């Protein structure tokens, strides 16, 4: 099955819509939604044509110089097939949901055009057969995210948020590009994922233990590549853009900032897991950063009042989980648990990514339905009692919440179990304990959200008059709710092939810990928040997100704006001064001196003329003969 349909169809759709939407009018929406549906069908065909051979095919030429080739070639294996399924499926549902959510927006064609652009670039990342192609689409998802966050660009907060998202990602891309350059150099100009894996796997010229192995180089390359994932997957310390990205329309938050694009970092790390396994130090740093992000974000989530922000921090936290799993798998591999957690066929991080995509997209779409019903009110303390007004939304939202908390037999339970299990196997107890603590916090803040928004009495007019959302919005919710339940089971055998790690025995500790975390979290939240009209606890540090934004603002002001000011001043004084003004001054001084000779007095000239004649005569008569001329 040719992969060009899901890749190129959204591209042309985006091109047509973004460049000609005023001529197209309503047709723009149809083109975009249609292309997403056709892409999904093509992806199903891709799944059905399940040949396990890793397939590297050239799609389009890009750069071709001498023996160097950087082309658009696709790598279709289990992982990319499974990821394609998630991207195109959730993408299609979000397209359909947006039909309802964006109905009254004047700039709807632009929205759908950007959405198509996103589908194109995300598909590109998933299918990328080499790192350079991945980087190309990596930047393009950044662009589409920029366009979508800034959809309501008239609002200052949205305009700032999209800029912040793009710039923070640029910092990550800075590292990603260095990593690509290092690998490019080390592997003789070949950044093909398949060939890189051969080089780094056992017996390859760059593998751990081979003569060509260089520990500091491998760690540097792995960490540089990881920096790309830190940006895109919003890990500490570049996590600040994701909560702000909630300025975008809610379907965008569901698709891009919860289910797919932010998971691209994790997907990419899994793609290059051979590199991380080759560097134990990098693996530990990655696991540590992932774990730290998970815990920090969960703490921040407990004190947020904006329904979308709670979900945003929860996304951060879950992404931290996935990144931790990537690091932990590499650490566990070193500890001898090699067979159990090899990157093929299933990786715990990919498994969690896959289940998380469904329930988090569902939660966001559910919050979208709530926001839509409450006339764009996002503060949970101004909602309440929505359970009765919006039953379908309530039930689907509850299922999503339960899946996220890891209630047994829902999808999140299995994947969280896998992640905690591998953290346990990594041999680092802190990792596991922090993971478990995060699980408890997750249960706490999600229960809080559910109780405050859906239970109790309506606290405002808009909550009182809320009504159930229209059919185009309910339908995606219901489908996603079903997937939130079943995606952990083998029902979805084909996409799961790539996702679910083989079952691991002997993790009683993990099971007990996660159940305990769930009970503690839910219990304390019910105890604290039941029937309350305002937040009973207030922790400034968490509510203000550990003051990261403020700290970064100072850093940007000092390290960038102030530095720019100083450099500009120095440039004016020294460069312009030394190169331009100093020579000018010298020439002017010499000019002023020699000007005396050109006073405009005929007699002065005559005097000089006479002196000159005498000088010439002296030269001709006395000096030159002596020199022998």
Partner 1 sequence: MITLGHYLVVSGMLFALGLAGVIARRNIIIVYMCLEMMLSAANLALVGFSRFHLVNGLPDYTAQSLVFFTITVAAAEVAVGLAIIVALFRSKQSVDVESVTKLQG
Partner 2 sequence: MSVLEIIIALPLLAALAVWLGAPARAASLGATIVNLILVLYAVVQYGGKTGLAFTCSHPILENPALSFAVGADGTSLILALLTALVMLAAIWQIQDRPAIFYVSSLLIGGGALGAFLTTDVFFIYAFHELALIPTFLMIALHGRAEPAQRKAVAWKATIYLGAGSLVLLAGLVWLVLEFSGGSKLTFDLEALRNQAKLTPLPDAKQGQIFFLLLLGFGSLVSLFPFHSWAAPAYATAPTPVAMLHSGVLKKFGLYGLIRIALPLLPQGAHVEWVQHALIWMLLGNILVMGLVTIHASRLDDTLANSSVMHMGYIFLGIASGSELALKGAVILMFAHGVSIALLFGLCGRMRNQLGTLEYNKLGGLATHAPAFTVLFAFGAFASIGLPGLTNFAGEVMIFLGNFTEFKAGALTPLQWAVILALWGVVMSAVYMLRAYRSIFHGSPATGLFMIDPALSQRVPFILLAATLLVTGCCPWLLLNLMKSAL
Residue 558 Cβ, how far from partner 2 at the closest point, in Å? 13
Which member of 53, 67, 202, 601 binds partner 1 (CB under 8 A)?
Answer: 601
Considering only 201-209, 268-276, 361-369, 598-606, which stretch makes contact with partner 1 by CB under 8 A? 598-606
Toward partner 2, which CB reaches closer, 57 or 214? 214
Is 314 within 8 Å of 441 (Cβ atoms)? no
Question: Phi/psi at 71 (nearest 5 deg)?
Answer: -120, 170
Reduce the DSSP state of residue 568 to 3 states and report it: helix
Q: Is 602 in the site for partner 1 (CB under 8 A)?
A: yes
| Radius of gyration from C-alpha coordinates of the chain | 31
Burial category of 344 from C-beta neighbours within 10 Å (exposed 0-12, middle 13-18, buried 19 and up): exposed
| Residue carrying the six token digits 């399940």 | 50
Q: Is 591 in the site for partner 1 (CB under 8 A)?
A: no
Question: Phi/psi at 56 (nearest 5 deg)?
Answer: -115, 100
Toward partner 1, which CB reaches closer, 602 or 621? 602
Q: Concatenate the DSSP letters of all residues of 188-241 into one string.
A: TT--BHHHHHHHHSTTSTTSTTSTT--HHHHHHHHHHHHHHHHHHTT-TTSTTH
Q: Which partner, partner 1, partner 2, none, binds residue 592 by CB below 5 to 8 Å per kind?
A: none
Q: Is 610 in the site for partner 1 (CB under 8 A)?
A: yes
Q: Which partner, partner 2, partner 1, none, binds residue 607 by CB below 5 to 8 Å per kind?
A: partner 1
Q: Is 615 in the site for partner 1 (CB under 8 A)?
A: no
Is 404 within 8 Å of 443 (Cβ atoms)? no
Q: What is the DSSP letter of 382?
A: G
Q: Is 57 in the site for partner 1 (CB under 8 A)?
A: no
Residue 156 Cβ, how far from partner 1 at the closest point, in Å? 59
Omega of the bond prior to 237 within 30 degrees of 0, cis? yes
Q: Is 616 in the site for partner 1 (CB under 8 A)?
A: no
Q: Which partner, partner 2, partner 1, none, binds residue 596 by CB below 5 to 8 Å per kind?
A: none
Q: Which partner, partner 2, partner 1, none, binds residue 629 by CB below 5 to 8 Å per kind?
A: none
Q: Which partner, partner 2, partner 1, none, binds residue 150 by CB below 5 to 8 Å per kind?
A: partner 2
Number of Cβ within 10 Å of residue 593's Cβ equals: 9
* Distance (Å, whole) CA 218 – CA 186: 10
Cα within 13 Å of Cα(268), Cβ side = 35
If we measure between CA atoms, which residue out of 11, 304, 7 comes closest to residue 127? 7
Q: Is 600 in the site for partner 1 (CB under 8 A)?
A: yes
Question: Phi/psi at 541 (nearest 5 deg)?
Answer: -60, -45
Q: Which partner, partner 1, partner 2, none, binds residue 610 by CB below 5 to 8 Å per kind?
A: partner 1
- Pair of tokens at residue 4: 């060009």
> What is the size of the binding site for partner 1 (CB under 8 A)?
8
Q: Is 603 in the site for partner 1 (CB under 8 A)?
A: yes
Q: Is 592 in the site for partner 1 (CB under 8 A)?
A: no
If we measure between CA atoms, which residue out of 130, 58, 101 comes closest to residue 248? 101
Binding site for partner 2 (CB under 8 A): 18-19, 61-66, 68, 70, 132, 135-137, 139-140, 143, 150, 153-154, 156, 158-160, 162-163, 166-167, 170-171, 173-174, 177-178, 181-182, 184-186, 189, 212, 214, 216-217, 560-561, 563-565, 567-568, 571, 575-576, 578-580
Q: Is 606 in the site for partner 1 (CB under 8 A)?
A: yes
Toward partner 1, which CB reaches closer, 63 or 621? 621
Toward partner 1, which CB reaches closer, 156 or 602? 602
Q: Which partner, partner 2, partner 1, none, binds residue 550 by CB below 5 to 8 Å per kind?
A: none
* Distance (Å, whole) CA 442 – CA 410: 15
Residue 159 Cβ, how far from partner 1 at the closest point, in Å? 58
Q: Where are the alpha helices (DSSP H) in 150-189?
A: 156-186
Toward partner 1, which CB reaches closer, 508 or 603? 603
Residue 141 Cβ, how far from partner 2 at the closest point, in Å? 11
Is 326 within 8 Å of 266 (Cβ atoms)? yes
- Pair of tokens at residue 564: 């720019």
Toward partner 1, which CB reaches closer, 48 or 614? 614
Burial category of 4 from C-beta neighbours within 10 Å (exposed 0-12, middle 13-18, buried 19 and up): middle
Q: Which partner, partner 1, partner 2, none, binds residue 538 by CB below 5 to 8 Å per kind?
A: none
Q: Is 508 in the site for partner 1 (CB under 8 A)?
A: no
- What is each CA distance from 421 to 7, 14, 356, 417, 424, in whole angstroms? 36, 42, 17, 6, 5
Q: Which partner, partner 1, partner 2, none, binds residue 298 by CB below 5 to 8 Å per kind?
A: none
Considering only 231-239, 415-423, 579-587, 601-609, which stretch makes contact with partner 1 by CB under 8 A? 601-609
- Pair of tokens at residue 188: 């003789």
Considering only 46-54, 387-395, 557-565, 593-601, which stretch makes contact with partner 1 by CB under 8 A? 593-601
If we measure between CA atoms, which residue out of 619, 546, 100, 14 comes closest to residue 292? 546
Is 391 within 8 Å of 468 (Cβ atoms)? yes
Q: Is 607 in the site for partner 1 (CB under 8 A)?
A: yes
Q: Which partner, partner 2, partner 1, none, binds residue 606 by CB below 5 to 8 Å per kind?
A: partner 1
* Distance (Å, whole) CA 173 – CA 141: 12
20 Cβ contact partners less than 8 Å away, ≥ 6 residues apart: none
**Residue ranges binding partner 1 (CB under 8 A):** 599-603, 606-607, 610
């Amino acid at each position: 099955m040719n992969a060009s349909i899901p890749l190129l169809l959204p591209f042309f759709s985006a091109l047509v819509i973004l460049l000609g939407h005023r001529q197209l009018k309503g047709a723009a929406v149809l083109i975009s939604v249609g292309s997403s549906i056709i892409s999904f069908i093509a992806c199903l065909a891709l799944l059905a044509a399940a040949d396990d051979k890793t397939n590297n095919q050239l799609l389009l030429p890009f750069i071709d110089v001498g023996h160097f080739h950087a082309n658009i070639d696709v790598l279709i294996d289990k992982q990319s097939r499974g990821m394609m399924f998630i991207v195109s499926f959730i993408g299609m549902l979000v397209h359909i949901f947006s039909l309802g959510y964006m109905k009254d927006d004047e700039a709807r064609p632009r929205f759908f055009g950007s959405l198509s652009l996103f589908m194109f670039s995300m598909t590109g990342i998933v299918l990328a057969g080499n790192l350079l192609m991945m980087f190309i689409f990596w930047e393009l998802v950044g662009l589409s995210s920029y366009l979508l966050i800034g959809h309501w660009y008239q609002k200052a907060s949205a305009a700032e948020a999209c800029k912040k998202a793009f710039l923070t990602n640029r910092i990550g891309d800075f590292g990603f590009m260095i990593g690509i350059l290092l690998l490019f150099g080390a592997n003789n100009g070949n950044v093909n994922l398949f060939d890189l894996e051969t080089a780094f796997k056992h017996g390859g010229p760059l593998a751990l233990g081979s003569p060509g192995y260089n520990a500091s180089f491998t760690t540097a390359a792995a960490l540089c590549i990881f920096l790309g994932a830190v940006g895109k997957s919003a890990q500490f310390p570049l996590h600040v853009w994701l909560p702000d990205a909630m300025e975008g329309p809610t379907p965008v938050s569901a698709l891009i900032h919860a289910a797919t694009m932010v998971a691209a970092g994790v997907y990419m790390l899994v793609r290059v897991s051979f590199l991380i396994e080759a560097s134990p130090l990098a693996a530990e740093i990655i696991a540590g950063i992932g774990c730290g992000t998970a815990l920090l974000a969960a703490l921040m989530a407990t004190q947020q009042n904006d329904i979308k922000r709670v979900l945003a921090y929860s996304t951060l936290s879950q992404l931290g989980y996935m990144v931790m799993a990537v690091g932990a798998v590499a650490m566990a591999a070193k500890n001898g648990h090699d067979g159990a957690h090899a990157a093929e066929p299933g990786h715990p991080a990919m498994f969690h990514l896959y289940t998380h995509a469904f329930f988090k997209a569902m939660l966001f779409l559910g919050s979208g339905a709530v926001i839509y019903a409450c006339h764009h009110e996002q503060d949970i303390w101004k909602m309440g009692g929505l359970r009765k007004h919006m039953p379908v939304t309530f039930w689907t939202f509850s299922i999503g919440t339960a899946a996220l908390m890891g209630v047994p037999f829902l999808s999140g339970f299995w994947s969280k179990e896998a992640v905690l299990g591998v953290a346990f196997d990594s041999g680092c107890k802190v990792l596991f304990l922090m993971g478990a603590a995060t699980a408890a916090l997750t249960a706490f803040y999600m229960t809080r959200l559910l109780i405050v928004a859906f239970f109790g009495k309506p606290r405002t007019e808009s909550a009182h008059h809320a009504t159930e959302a229209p059919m185009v919005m309910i339908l995606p919710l219901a489908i996603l709710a079903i997937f939130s339940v079943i995606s952990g089971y083998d029902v979805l055998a084909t996409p799961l092939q790539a996702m679910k790690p083989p079952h691991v025995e002997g993790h009683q500790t993990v099971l007990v810990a996660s159940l305990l975390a769930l009970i503690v979290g839910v219990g304390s939240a019910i105890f604290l928040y039941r029937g309350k009209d305002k937040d009973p606890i207030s922790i400034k540090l968490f509510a203000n997100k550990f003051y990261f934004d403020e700290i970064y603002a100072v850093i940007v002001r000092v390290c960038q704006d102030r530095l720019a000011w100083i450099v500009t001043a120095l440039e004016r004084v020294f460069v312009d001064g030394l190169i331009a003004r100093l020579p000018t001054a010298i020439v002017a001084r010499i000019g002023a001196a020699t000007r005396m000779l050109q006073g405009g007095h005929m007699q002065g000239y005559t005097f000089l003329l006479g002196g000159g004649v005498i000088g010439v005569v002296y030269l001709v008569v006395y000096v030159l003969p002596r020199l022998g001329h």
